[in-house]
Amino acid sequence: MTHVRIYEVGPRDGLQNEKAVIAVDDKVALIKALVDAGLKDIEVGSFVSPKWVPQMADTDRVMAALDYTNDVNYATLVPNVKGWEGFVQASANLPRNAGEIAVFIAASEGFSKANLNCTVEESLSRLAPVVEAAQSAGVPVRGYVSCITDCPFDGPTPPEAVVRAVEGLRRLAPMPVSLGDTIGAGTPETVTRVIKAVAETMPISDVAGHFHDTGGRALDNVQASLELGVRVFDAAVGGLGGCPYAPGAPGNVATEAVVERVEALGYSTGLDHAALARAGVMARKLRG
């Protein structure tokens, strides 16, 4: 049976937009519940400006409280050199490598300017020293590309713009890349066009799908991606989250729903359904 890997983003992408402060102990308890469900890749926080994303200001404390005796990859988002410095400081005294870092750019200029206050090309230039430093330190890097089918500012995103963004990231390092339908406007048809275009420039084994369920098509987009050979999907337990810089994007596709769909299609995830359901209940209690 073919395995599909679920990359859990709930503790970071899911919680980053919550207004009420969530205690470190609650975040760590959620992460532990996800580990108990069998998830091996969990995004636990980000080193971004606490002024802009206050919910992630305690990522260093979350990292310090995690269990590093298991084989789980705890990932964090690192958008710039200052974020890299925060990651290095937070991981300095941990018993092993703290996991991988994720870097991100947009496929559309409008979203790049709204989210990063720079052009796509400028965002790549900002990331270059981060990726170089991570490679020198032996820290794995994962890339995100936002707005792969539609942008809240520019409208439909041409597949060639996504390809340019992916190629820009992979010029920095041969990293895996997660393709994000940030506002949930993608359809199986538009997602298929993008993945086919991207697959001409990088191995499909390094491609992940990251879908929001705004338009109710996330699971259909997962299925379309599976048919093209994608075997990694980002998801947020309980359907948590949404990007603060993407108007109208209420939440990521729920991990539970992705697991149910891919297993119904004959793939395996290796996850414990009952434990995942318990984590989902916990996640929903954390919502504002």
* The pLDDT of residue 21: 85
CB 108 within 8 A of CB 157: yes
Confidence grade of residue 150 (pLDDT, cut at 50, 70, 90): very high
pLDDT tens, position by position, 75-106:
999 999 999 999 999 999 887 667 899 999 99
Confidence grade of residue 240 (pLDDT, cut at 50, 70, 90): confident
pLDDT of 250 > 80? The answer is no
Residue 267: domain span: 5-286
The tally of domains found in the chain comes to: 1
pLDDT tens, position by position, 263-283:
999 999 999 999 999 999 999
Please enumerate in sequence order all residues whose Cβ is within 8 A of that of 278, keeping only pairs 6 or more positions apart, or say none.
33, 36, 37
* Cα separation values, 60 from 34, 46, 226, Å: 19, 9, 35
For residue 60, give the CATH number of its domain. 3.20.20.70
Q: Mind telling me the catalytic residues?
A: 243
